[in-house]
Amino acid sequence: MADKFILEFAKLIADKPEEIAVYREDIDEGFSEITLVTDKNDTGKLIGKDGKMISSLKSIISGCKAKDNRSYRVTIKSNDEY
């Protein structure tokens, strides 16, 4: 659920939405890591000025914890890092 939301959110903001991919790795029963892979130019756009965009996204995703009892870590990487 959270990974699908992040994908759709990122596609709305990105200049190259076709190059966005989201990977979810379940670390244990109550924790997952979501990695958002984007074009190099879109990485900065999704992080935002002073990290405000990614901080807001993480706040929204923390609301998912109440619904499915799972914590999430969200990271953004560019295509050349992944």
pLDDT recorded at residue 64: 76
Tell me the pLDDT band of 59, cut-offs 50, 70 and 90: confident
The count of structural domains within the chain is: 1
Q: What is the DSSP string of 12-47?
A: HH-S-GGG-EEEEEEEETTEEEEEEEE-HHHHHHHH
Mean pLDDT confidence for 7-12: 91
Domain, as residue range, for 48: 2-78
Mean pLDDT confidence for 74-81: 85
CATH number for the domain including 8?
A: 3.30.300.20
Between residues 1 and 16, which one has the greater pLDDT?
16
**DSSP summary character for residue 48:** -
Mean pLDDT confidence for 28-45: 90
